[in-house]
């Protein structure tokens, strides 16, 4: 049985590319630097992507039904990572370079890279 790459992952990867391109173009042509906000925006998008991938709205229904298999656990873990990424992305707009926020961003980024590699190389 072959799986397909999810639409949410493709959407988030394309939004990452567009935001990166927009940051470069704005800096090159108008000298507007949005680099300090780019990582926050990307982290928020990453959080939404993980939440879409984890199918967060179905988790409560899975737990209520009492059927908790390895697939449901992976959905729960993905959704929790997405929620943490989303919250830290929003908080990082208001907090100036906290070591905790930078650590969370680094860990979420590494997890995202691993998941993207698995999704693109293993899943057809």
Q: Does residue 114 sit within a domain?
A: yes
Residue 3, CA distances (Å) to 59, 78, 80, 122, 123 in order: 21, 18, 23, 9, 6
* Mean pLDDT (whole number) for 102-111: 77
Strand, coil or helix: what is 96? coil
Of 122, 2, 119, give the one whose Cα is nearest residue 50. Answer: 119
Domain count, the chain: 1
pLDDT at 89: 83
Q: Does residue 54 sit within a domain?
A: yes
pTM above 0.85, yes or no: no
Buried b (16+ CB within 10 A) or exposed e, 63-77: eeeeeeeeebeebbe
Q: Does residue 11 sit within a domain?
A: yes
pLDDT in tens, 1-21: 455 556 766 777 777 778 878
Q: Does residue 2 sit within a domain?
A: no
pLDDT at 121: 66
Share the mean pLDDT of the chain: 76
């Amino acid at each position: 049985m072959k799986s397909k790459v999810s639409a949410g992952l493709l959407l988030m990867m394309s939004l990452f590319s567009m935001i990166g391109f927009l940051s470069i173009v704005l800096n090159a042509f108008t000298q507007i630097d949005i680099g300090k906000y780019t990582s926050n925006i990307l982290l928020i998008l990453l959080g939404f992507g993980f939440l879409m991938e984890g199918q967060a709205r179905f988790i409560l229904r899975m737990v209520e039904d009492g059927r908790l298999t390895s697939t449901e656990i992976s959905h729960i873990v993905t959704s929790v990572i997405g929620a943490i990424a989303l919250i830290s992305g929003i908080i990082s707009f208001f907090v100036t370079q906290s070591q905790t926020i930078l650590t969370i961003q680094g860990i979420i980024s590494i997890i995202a890279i691993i998941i993207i590699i698995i999704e693109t190389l293993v899943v057809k």
